[in-house]
């Protein structure tokens, strides 16, 4: 005999998510811009999308590593500060803007962090630290953020060498690290010509064994510690179909839940590739609705048994749908209000 309960079933996030598998969620696209005109255009595009969709479906990372001219690092950092200070969005949507600083062993690293994080750290979503080789590099980056007055600011790291891939699990385990990205170009060039140039393009970056292995190691390390694996760049930026297919393969074959964009034309196809289908969303909504009604006890749905292990998967389908702008059925829309 069943009895009506006096309270609502707990929220899916409180029941289904743990230290792994979805402990951290980020927008599926991370757009990089380093030239002033492109930085301004990217920030304006993000504001436009947010106004139209009610949320930020992609991050903008302002680039000080490749964006700053040699000798002009301080001026570039000051420009980033001015751009972030100039952001003025109507509540409740906030800009999602991060910054890529120089590597920890670069002479400009400390100044980058002190200037940018010290001034606008409370307005940033993350700091991307490139060319991370070890946990010691992560510790140095985290200490710099702390010294700049941002002890809670998320740290994203870029894995770009064979040695860093070897240490990816240790790097991902660091509590300050939120996301691991794969640096394809530096990884290939770090092999001294042993990997051909074709592996930096399509379809070669999905076919060369060493590149495939690196991608899988980084994704596995991220998932093992509940962090977000972010896929590398696609240089064929004007071929939207190629970008979309690359993003689809990154998601479905390699386990990535986020991908870099290096041109505004890449953002839409990346977001589309990471969107679940309408049928997948409908099925997930039915299962989550039924599971919540059962207070997360096992259920039967269309001849299949489900429990919290599969509930977690279907909840993550709904979270991905919400993050990428797929309309949600009324039965589950309230979870995201």
Tens of pLDDT, residue by residue over 139-157, are 999 999 999 999 999 999 9
Higher pLDDT, 223 or 1: 223
- Alpha-carbon distance of 200 to 216, in angstroms, equals 16
Q: What is the pLDDT of residues 268-303, one digit of tens each?
A: 999 999 999 999 999 999 999 999 999 999 999 999
- Alpha-carbon distance of 297 to 293, in angstroms, equals 9
- Determine how many CB atoms are found less than 10 A away from the CB of residue 251: 20
Q: For residue 221, what pLDDT is reported?
A: 97
CA-angle at 258, arms to 145 and 214, nearest 5°: 85
Are 142 and 170 a contacting pair, CB within 8 Å?
A: no
Q: For residue 1, what pLDDT is reported?
A: 38
Mean per-residue pLDDT of the chain? 93
What mean pLDDT comes out for the span 82-87? Answer: 96
- Alpha-carbon distance of 111 to 49, in angstroms, equals 33
Higher pLDDT, 1 or 311: 311
Q: How many CA atoms lie within 13 A of 144 on its CB side?
A: 25
- Alpha-carbon distance of 188 to 272, in angstroms, equals 28
Q: For residue 4, what pLDDT is reported?
A: 47
Residue 19 has pLDDT above 70, yes or no: no
Q: For residue 3, what pLDDT is reported?
A: 45
- Alpha-carbon distance of 227 to 177, in angstroms, equals 8
> What are 55's two structure tokens?
């949320």
Are 93 and 47 a contacting pair, CB within 8 Å?
A: no
Q: Identify the H or E element spanning 82.
A: helix 73-85
- pTM of the shown model: 0.92
Residue 181 has pLDDT above 60, yes or no: yes
What mean pLDDT comes out for the span 26-37? Answer: 96
Lowest mean pLDDT among 24-33, 104-113, 160-169, 203-212: 24-33
Are 21 and 289 a contacting pair, CB within 8 Å?
A: no
Residue 55 has pLDDT above 80, yes or no: no
Q: What is the pLDDT of residues 93-132, one digit of tens each?
A: 789 999 999 999 999 999 999 999 999 999 999 999 999 9
């Amino acid at each position: 005999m069943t009895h009506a309960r006096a309270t609502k079933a707990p929220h899916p996030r409180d029941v289904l998510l743990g230290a792994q598998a979805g402990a951290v969620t980020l927008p599926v696209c991370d757009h990089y811009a380093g030239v002033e005109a492109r930085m301004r255009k990217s920030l304006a595009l993000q504001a436009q999308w947010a106004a139209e969709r009610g949320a930020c479906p992609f991050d903008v990372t302002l680039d000080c590593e490749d964006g700053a001219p040699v000798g002009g690092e301080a001026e570039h950092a000051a420009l980033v500060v001015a751009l972030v200070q100039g952001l003025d969005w109507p509540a409740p949507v906030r800009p999602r803007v991060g910054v890529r600083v120089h590597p920890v062993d670069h002479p400009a690293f400390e100044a980058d962090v002190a200037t940018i994080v010290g001034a606008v750290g409370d307005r940033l979503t993350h700091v991307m630290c490139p060319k991370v080789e070890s946990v010691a590099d992560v510790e140095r980056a985290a200490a710099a953020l702390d010294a700049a007055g941002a002890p809670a600011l998320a740290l994203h790291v870029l894995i770009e060498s064979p040695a860093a891939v070897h240490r990816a699990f240790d790097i991902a385990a660091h509590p300050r690290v939120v996301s691991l990205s794969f640096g394809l170009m530096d990884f290939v060039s770090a092999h001294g010509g042993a990997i051909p140039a074709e592996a930096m393009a399509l379809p070669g970056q999905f076919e060369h064994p060493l590149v495939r292995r690196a991608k899988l190691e980084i994704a596995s390390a991220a998932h093992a510690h509940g962090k977000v694996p972010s896929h590398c760049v696609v240089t064929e930026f004007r071929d939207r179909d190629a970008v979309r297919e690359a993003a689809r393969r990154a998601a479905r074959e390699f386990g990535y839940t986020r991908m870099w964009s290096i041109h505004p034309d890449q953002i839409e196809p990346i977001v589309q590739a990471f969107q679940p289908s309408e049928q997948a969303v409908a099925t997930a909504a039915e299962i989550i609705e039924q599971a919540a009604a059962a207070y997360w006890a096992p259920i039967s749905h269309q001849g299949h048994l489900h429990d919290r292990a599969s509930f977690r998967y279907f909840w993550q389908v709904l979270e991905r749908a919400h993050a990428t702008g797929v309309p949600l059925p009324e039965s589950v829309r309230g979870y995201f209000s």
